Structure 1
């Protein structure tokens, strides 16, 4: 049982929880994740550790309500408990002095990007961040990312904040203008990461992506998170979550991500019906 010690709503349907998990807080590294189970009858699902405080013994997780389990997590408040929090899992991000590191984040992908950008900056890299969301209201962690970036660009689909357009378009604009980029880290929706990799491939820039496919156990036993990397099958939970973006079969990944959509929608409707019945 892991107690929630802080809760904040960052954007519509996006919630930050600080959870007391001292052993994980001491051991975690950027890029790693935890597997959560909200209750005895709940499913296991992964969330990247967005931050940690070893002294306080807490980890920070940021979730977006996209299904039953994330909706249940969002409903938990300070003082409530999460049944299971297992981790840290996955291979940590390889951090070294690359030179100029461009961090591209879209939507909820900004959450796992933050600890990577912070570690890159601490290692002496020049960090250029490109953050995107559909609207200004949906943009998260702008202040925090600004604090660990030497340069930051904001993009919104509707132009309500910053550049009107996609993060991949802003990246292409910067590279075309001669901006330096020794490595790119991209995290966000699969189509976004695919678009970013198309841009960087044209300029020959090494690109690392963090994948978040369907995952059941997080330890390599179920094979649910398998992806094709350079024609080989890899398990995101133990071989990743980070891979060479130019080797990822994004089309296959997008197809696999849709496998359980019908079941997820059914579970969400059932949860909503139960919640409505409980209301006075």
Structure 2
């Protein structure tokens, strides 16, 4: 059993939870993930490690309440326990040796982009962080992202924070103004990562994206996170989740991501009907 040390809402649909898991915290690295199970009847779900504290023996996860399992997870409170919390899994991000990087997060992807920026910044890399949200009420981790970067730009689709536009507009502006990036990391919705990769490709800027959003069982057994990278079949959970954005077949990945949406919607509706919660 793994104790929930802290739980706090970040916006109406996203929650940060700190879990006591000393063995996971000891080995965790940016880019890796855990698999948790709330109780003995719950399903196993993968979540990326948002932060860790080796001395305190804790691991931080951030989740969006979008389905049955995350709704169930959100019903747990500080002081309670999760049945399983396994990790770290996946390959750690390869971040050494870069001079200047742009780390881009879209919505919930900022929870994964943040530890990447934090690690790069600690290595002495100059980091511009660009975060995108639909509106100002959904912005998360603004203070944390500011501390983990040399410059933070927060964009909103509707301009409600005074900075309207997509993350690609901010990235293009930085490049046009002479930002000499040797690395771009983009984490968020697949269409956003595709757009960033298309933007950076003509400039020859190494671009890393995270395919954590298509993972299911996290062990390579189910094949649900299968994708094509450079013409070869890869599995996001065991070969990634980081991949070269210029080699990923995003269209294939988007198609697969929508395969089980009807089943997910039914499970969510049933959970809400029985227990209440966000619909």
- Name the TM tier (shorter chain): over 0.9
In the other structure, the counterpart of 1:177 is 177
Name the CA distance, whole Å, in 1 between partners of 2:261 and 2:194: 21
How many residues of Structure 1 are paired with residues of Structure 2 in the alignment?
Answer: 277
In the other structure, the counterpart of 1:205 is 205
SS of alignment partner, residue 247 of structure 1: coil
Name the CA distance, whole Å, in 2 between partners of 1:133 and 1:216: 25
- Does the 8 A contact of 1:163 with 1:170 survive in 2? no
> Are positions 1:99 and 2:99 aligned together?
yes
In the other structure, the counterpart of 2:187 is 187
SS of alignment partner, residue 253 of structure 1: helix
- Which deviations, in whole Å up to 9, do the C-alpha atoms of 1:68-102 show, x marking residues without a partner? 11111112110111111110000001021311011
- Which deviations, in whole Å up to 9, do the C-alpha atoms of 1:124-169 show, x marking residues without a partner? 1000000110011101111001001111111000101142011011
> Are positions 1:274 and 2:268 aligned together?
no
In the other structure, the counterpart of 1:54 is 54
In the other structure, the counterpart of 2:122 is 122
- Does the 8 A contact of 2:219 with 2:237 survive in 1? yes
Q: Deviation of residue 18 (structure 1)? A: 0.2
Name the CA distance, whole Å, in 2 between partners of 1:82 and 1:60: 13
In the other structure, the counterpart of 2:245 is 245
Structure 1 portions without partners, runs of 5+: none
- Does the 8 A contact of 1:91 with 1:240 survive in 2? yes
**TM value normalised by structure 1:** 0.96
Structure 2 portions without partners, runs of 5+: none
- How much is the aligned-residue C-alpha RMSD, in angstroms? 1.3
- Which deviations, in whole Å up to 9, do the C-alpha atoms of 1:175-217 show, x marking residues without a partner? 1222221110000011110111111112221100011244333
Name the CA distance, whole Å, in 2 between partners of 1:192 and 1:76: 32
SS of alignment partner, residue 212 of structure 2: coil
**TM value normalised by structure 2:** 0.96
Q: Deviation of residue 260 (structure 1)? A: 0.7
In the other structure, the counterpart of 2:254 is 254
Name the CA distance, whole Å, in 2 between partners of 1:13 and 1:46: 18
Q: Deviation of residue 223 (structure 1)? A: 1.6
- Does the 8 A contact of 2:98 with 2:125 survive in 1? yes
Name the CA distance, whole Å, in 1 between partners of 2:135 and 2:58: 30
Name the CA distance, whole Å, in 1 between partners of 2:80 and 2:41: 17
